[in-house]
């Protein structure tokens, strides 16, 4: 069996983002970029399945500008076997990403597709669900535990009320939640080794996918700022302020 993971290049989660003055988007020039944290969890899970002998190969796919190569290299350094870059300068929205991933999947035939539950830039939380719909496959979103046995997966999901476990047929799409695993760091030798692993490049045109955005971004603005920073000196003062000033208790 093969596993395919999607890895998105996003602004690093530690960066305090800045909205561009002309309101067209967020400043990305000279900003640290990293792999979407949920996708690191996806790569880790696929590697563990390979180490457990359940799958043979892990393919990492990224979609976007040429620099997404670096994100694929990170996945390869963690241990993925090879990469696929769908290169484009066009803005990609989840529906287009799902269609492109579907096209790659139809070429690669993986039995398990693991992707992040949410990209921390667009906060969409859509791609995995869309991809499984387009493929006609089952979906197990927000996974915190994954067990694979003879053509099935048993997946525990993080839901609002607690945990829910579902059984799905393979092939399937699984999206990762934070508690699924703790991703490994790439060691220096593995980073060196990753430089020799193959990455094939394709394009939306070659895959026959129209990626025209369906949502037009009219503007991007900063949210209203909160005025905070007041301190109180004691518990008694706090309770007093909450009762008489804020009137919330």
Partner 1 sequence: MAALVVAEHDNAALKPATLNAVAAAKEIAGEDVDILVAGKDCRAVAEAAAVVAGARRVLLADDGAYDHGLAENVAPLLVRLAEGYSHLLAPATTSGKNLMPRVAALLDVMQISDISAVVSPDTFVRPIYAGNALQTVQSKDPIKVITVRGTAFPPGEATGGSAAIEAIAPTGSVGLSEFVRAELSKSERPELTSARIIISGGRGMQSGDNFHLLEKVADRLGAAVGASRAAVDAGFVPNDYQVGQTGKIVAPELYIAVGISGAIQHLAGMKDSKVIVAINKDEEAPIFQIADYGLVGDLFRILPELEAELERRQ
Ligand X SMILES: Nc1ncnc2c1ncn2[C@@H]1O[C@H](COP(=O)(O)O)[C@@H](O)[C@H]1O
Ligand Y SMILES: Cc1cc2nc3c(=O)[nH]c(=O)nc-3n(C[C@H](O)[C@H](O)[C@H](O)COP(=O)(O)OP(=O)(O)OC[C@H]3O[C@@H](n4cnc5c(N)ncnc54)[C@H](O)[C@@H]3O)c2cc1C
Chain residues binding ligand X by CB under 6 A are 6-8, 36, 38-39, 62-64, 92, 94, 97, 115-116, 118-119, 122, 124-127
Which residue, 54 or 168, is less far from partner 1 as judged by CB?
A: 168
Residue nearest to ligand Y (CB): 37
Which residue, 172 or 174, is less far from ligand Y as judged by CB?
A: 174
In the bound complex, what is the minimum distance in angstroms from residue 48's beta carbon to ligand X?
17
In the bound complex, what is the minimum distance in angstroms from residue 102's beta carbon to ligand X?
13
Which residue, 158 or 241, is less far from ligand X as judged by CB?
A: 158
Separation of alpha carbons 16 and 214, rounded Å: 28
Give 168's contacts (C-beta < 8 A, 6+ positions apart).
138, 139, 140, 152, 153, 155
Instruction: Report what 230 binds from ligand X, ligand Y, partner 1, none; CB cut-off 5-8 Å by kind.
Output: partner 1
In the bound complex, what is the minimum distance in angstroms from residue 24's beta carbon to partner 1?
11
Beta strand pairing status for 82-87 and 139-149?
A: unpaired
Separation of alpha carbons 217 and 49, rounded Å: 39
Q: What is the token pair recorded at 142?
A: 């927000």
Separation of alpha carbons 3 and 53, rounded Å: 12
- Chain-centre distance of CA 52, in angstroms? 23
In the bound complex, what is the minimum distance in angstroms from residue 108's beta carbon to ligand X?
14
The CB-side HSE value for 28 (13 A sphere, CA atoms) comes to 11
Are the C-beta atoms of residues 105 and 172 closer than 8 Å to each other? no
Residue nearest to ligand X (CB): 116
In the bound complex, what is the minimum distance in angstroms from residue 179's beta carbon to ligand Y?
11
Separation of alpha carbons 119 and 67, rounded Å: 17
Helix axes 94-108, 127-135, angle to 10 degrees: 50
Which residue, 6 or 186, is less far from ligand X as judged by CB?
A: 6
Instruction: Report what 192 binds from ligand Y, partner 1, ligand X, none; CB cut-off 5-8 Å by kind.
Output: none
In the bound complex, what is the minimum distance in angstroms from residue 13's beta carbon to ligand Y?
4
Instruction: Report what 97 binds from ligand X, ligand Y, partner 1, none; CB cut-off 5-8 Å by kind.
Output: ligand X
């Amino acid at each position: 069996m093969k596993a395919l993971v999607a890895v998105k290049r996003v602004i690093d989660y530690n960066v305090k983002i800045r909205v561009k003055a002309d309101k067209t988007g967020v400043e990305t020039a000279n900003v640290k970029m990293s792999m979407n944290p949920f996708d690191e969890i996806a790569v880790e899970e696929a590697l563990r399945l390979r180490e457990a002998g359940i799958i043979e190969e892990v393919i990492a796919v990224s979609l976007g500008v040429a620099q997404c190569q670096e994100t694929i290299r990170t996945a390869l350094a963690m241990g993925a076997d090879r990469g696929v870059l769908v290169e484009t300068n066009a803005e990609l929205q989840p529906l287009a990403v799902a269609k492109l991933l579907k096209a790659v999947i139809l070429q690669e035939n993986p039995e398990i597709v693991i992707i992040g539950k949410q990209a921390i830039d667009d906060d969409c939380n859509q791609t995995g669900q869309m991809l499984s719909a387009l493929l006609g496959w089952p979906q197990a979103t927000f996974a915190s535990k994954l067990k694979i046995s003879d053509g099935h997966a048993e997946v525990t999901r993080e839901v609002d009320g607690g945990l829910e476990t579902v059984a799905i047929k393979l092939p399937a799409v699984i999206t990762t939640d934070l508690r699924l695993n703790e991703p490994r760091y790439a060691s220096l030798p593995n980073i060196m080794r990753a430089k020799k692993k193959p990455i094939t490049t394709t394009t939306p045109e070659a895959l026959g996918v129209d990626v025209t955005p369906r949502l037009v971004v009219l503007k991007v603005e900063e949210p209203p700022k909160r005025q905070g920073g007041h301190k109180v000196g004691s518990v008694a003062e706090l309770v007093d302020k909450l009762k008489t000033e804020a009137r919330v208790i």
